[in-house]
Amino acid sequence: MLTLTERQYFPLLGEEKAEFEDDREILKRQINKKHRSGVSPIYDSQKQFAKTINDLFDDKNVLFVSSILPTQAGKTGTMISIIDQYVERHCIHFENIYLITGLSSKSWKKQVKDRFPNILETQIYHRNDLKDRVSFELTFKKDVLIIMDEMHIAARKKQTMDIMFEELSFAKRETMYEKNIKVIEFSATPDGVLKDRLQWGESSKVVFGKPGSGYKGIRDFFDENRIHQCDELCGFNNDSKKDEQDLAKENIRKLGKFIINRYGIDKPKYHIIRTPTGEASRVMMNNFKEIYGDNVDYKEHNGITDEENINDILDIEPKKHTCIFIMELCRCADTINKKYIGVLYERNVKIFNDSAQVQGLPGRMCGYDDTGETVVFANVPSLELYLQHYDSEFTRTDIPWNCNTKNGTYAREDTDSEYCSENDESEYGYKVFENEERYNELEIFTRSHLGGWVPRKNAGKNINELKNHTSNDLIVRHWGLSNKNPRRIALGSDGKWVVWWLKSKFCID
């Protein structure tokens, strides 16, 4: 069977091409209108970055482009420009252009639809749309352009993006070449996704965008002494006997003094403070109210309904200093109005997720609309590590980085290889056998490669912990391997046998 080494071409002809040309004109008019109105301005730096990305797809071997931009540096304008330039070069059904994200956020979806050209409104999907609708549509499509926002979200093995890519065989380059699938991934913190993408060799490219003139980012805020370490403001934990209320209250008083010293009483600001969840949140807010009293206004914003938008609060000038308590909001992809913002305060936790720190309130502080007055309290070491990683273009492995995607993501290639290569960073190998191969090919393999091992007749059947798991589940999870038990066999629920082993114990060439 011939193995494809480049994307196939599916030209539009006749009425299809005429319809595409009509849609392209509509797209351009809508882009220009939103640019002129200021809803979605597109700047020269964004156009140039979009061109760099589109140029890479001139090589038909390229399937993926990982696009790294600092937070709030103009990602939406770049995405719009990518599509605008792409349809100038290539004829494509507009219903084959997708903007997706692993975020479960209706506010993201609404925000993007407001900014994107209306002709693409039905092609914008967040996490809750992906599993059923988008996966079903993409199963039958060829010549597709997918733009993925925040590629590090829901990216771990067995999370939404991995399930979708697995169902569509988008982890197999043969499928991608055959169907002419192109994927452009965006994030400021690519985390483990980037590491997995690099394993695709020349089929995957990485590009770094430069912010335009007037951008302020984390490095600028360090230079201007506008980043400080966040302290414990709660002091309450249901699971802990240790009560740190006194320390938390003292830190709340320190914050109040900081606010008054920096902004005074006559120049009130909004101060966004991230709280823990549950009872701890109530305790923390009560402590603020006890200490600050009527000198400060208080608001809670949880974004429970589609109608709730924190900018509905932030757009109105405050009459006095106002604390806005949030929980899991104002993270990646959220844009907030900074005009009246004073302090942004991240929650102090025992172990910080470095990626979440960058994408949280420090990331929301970045952008082109900095007032020069906003200050962020967050985990300083996380932000310092980020600058080191960014400066190295995320190539340094000697710098620590705590994130959720260290151990495999949707971006890892499924090579269909019988054995793991010597350069494979995973610690285990595996091989899959059809049911009829159980007592011939399978035993020949184990005897030859796994220390003369011949599995017992009933080995691998009726294992309670593995019931109802497919062969792919067994491969991904590789249950039960240890130095004492370095090889295993099991029958998947799909009727296929899997043998898996520790590579440190068996040398398989």
Can you give the three-state secondary structure of 400-467, one letter per residue? CCCCCCCCCECCCCCCCCCCCCCCCCCCEEEEEECHHHCCCHHHHHHHHHCCCCCCCCCCCCCCHHHC
> Is residue 374, in this structure, part of any structural domain at all?
yes
Cβ proximity of 498 and 422 under 8 Å? no
Residues 257 and 351 in one domain: yes
| Secondary structure tally for the chain: helices H, strands E | 18, 15
Task: Provide the phi-psi class of 468: left if phi over 0, else alpha when psi is between -120 and 50, else beta.
Answer: left
- 85 and 223 fall within a common domain: no
Pairing of strands 181-187, 144-149: parallel
Instruction: Give the total number of structural domains in the chain.
Output: 3
Question: Tell me, what CATH number does 44's domain have?
Answer: 3.40.50.300
173 and 231 inside one domain: no
413 occurs within a structural domain: no
Does a structural domain hold residue 403?
no
Mark which of 174, 208, 242 sits at the end of a domain.
Answer: 208
The whole domain housing 316 covers: 218-391
Indicate which CATH number applies to the domain containing 229.
3.40.50
In whole angstroms, what is the distance from residue 458 CA to residue 436 CA?
Answer: 15
| Residue 408 belongs to a domain | no
Helix (H, G, I), strand (E, B) or coil at 477: helix
Confirm whether 402 is domain-assigned.
Answer: no
* 240 and 180 both lie in a single domain: no
pLDDT at 493: 87
CB atoms within 10 A of CB 392: 12
In a domain, 187, yes or no: yes
3-state secondary structure of 40: coil
How many alpha carbons lie under 13 Å from residue 334 in its C-beta half-sphere?
Answer: 25
What local confidence, expressed as pLDDT, does residue 465 receive? 63
**Domain match, 250 and 146 both:** no
* Alpha-carbon gap, residue 232 to 91, rounded angstroms: 55
Asked, for residue 143, whether it belongs to a domain, the answer is: yes
158 and 224 part of one domain = no
Sheet with 64-68: strands ordered across? 124-125, 97-101, 144-149, 181-187, 64-68, 204-208
Neighbouring C-beta atoms of residue 187, cutoff 10 Å? 25
Q: What is the DSSP letter of 492?
A: -
Kindly report the number of other CB atoms within 10 A of residue 57's CB atom: 20
Give the C-alpha separation, 316 to 331, whole Å: 22
> How would DSSP label each residue in 218-248?
HHHHHHTT-EEE---S----TT-S---HHHH
Considering 157, 176, 208, which residue would you say is the last residue of a domain? 208
Give the per-residue pLDDT at 419.
Answer: 29
Q: What is the DSSP string of 99-151?
A: EEES---HHHHHHHHHHS-GGGGGGEE-HHHIIIIIHHHHHT--SEEEEEEST
Cα separation of 193 and 442, whole Å?
34
Residue with tokens 């934990």: 237
The reported pLDDT for the residue numbered 238 is 59
> Both 470 and 444 in a single domain?
yes
- For residue 423, the model assigns a pLDDT of 34
Q: Do 48 and 126 have their domain in common? A: yes
Would you call 501 exposed, middle or buried from its count of C-beta atoms within 10 A (0-12, 13-18, 19+)?
buried
Asked whether the beta carbons of 427 and 500 are under 8 A apart, the reply is no
CA distances from 378 to 237, 282, 360 (A): 20, 21, 9
- How far is 74 from 46, CA to CA, in rounded Å? 7
**pLDDT at res. 424:** 39
222 backbone dihedrals φ, ψ, rounded to 5°:
-65, -45
Pick the last residue of a domain from 208, 230, 259: 208
Cα separation, 222 vs 224, whole angstroms = 5
Do 381 and 248 share a domain, yes or no?
A: yes
CA neighbor of 466 nearest in space, from 432, 442, 489, 487: 489
> Are residues 71 and 180 part of one domain?
yes
Question: For residue 486, which phi and psi values (nearest 5 degrees)?
Answer: -85, 0
pLDDT tens digits, one per residue of 78-92: 999 999 999 999 999
354 in the same domain as 227:
yes
Phi, psi of 247 (to 5 degrees): -65, -45
Which letter does DSSP use for residue 156 in this model?
B
Q: What is the dihedral of CA 121, 123, 125, 131, to 10 degrees?
A: 150
Residue 309 falls within a domain, yes or no?
yes
Per-residue pLDDT of the chain (509 residues; tens, 9 = 90+): 457 889 999 999 999 999 999 999 999 999 999 999 999 999 999 999 999 999 999 999 999 999 999 999 999 999 999 999 999 999 999 999 999 999 988 888 888 999 999 999 999 999 988 877 888 889 989 999 999 999 999 999 989 999 999 999 999 999 999 999 999 999 999 999 999 998 899 999 999 999 999 999 999 999 999 999 999 999 887 555 456 789 999 999 999 999 999 999 999 999 999 998 788 889 999 999 999 999 999 999 875 544 568 899 999 999 999 999 997 666 665 789 999 999 999 999 989 999 999 999 999 999 999 999 999 999 999 999 999 999 999 888 888 999 988 888 999 998 643 323 333 335 788 899 999 999 988 998 898 889 889 998 888 887 766 777 788 878 776 777 777 778 999 998 889 999 988 888 887 65
* R_g (Cα) of the chain, nearest Å: 26
Same domain, 139 and 260: no
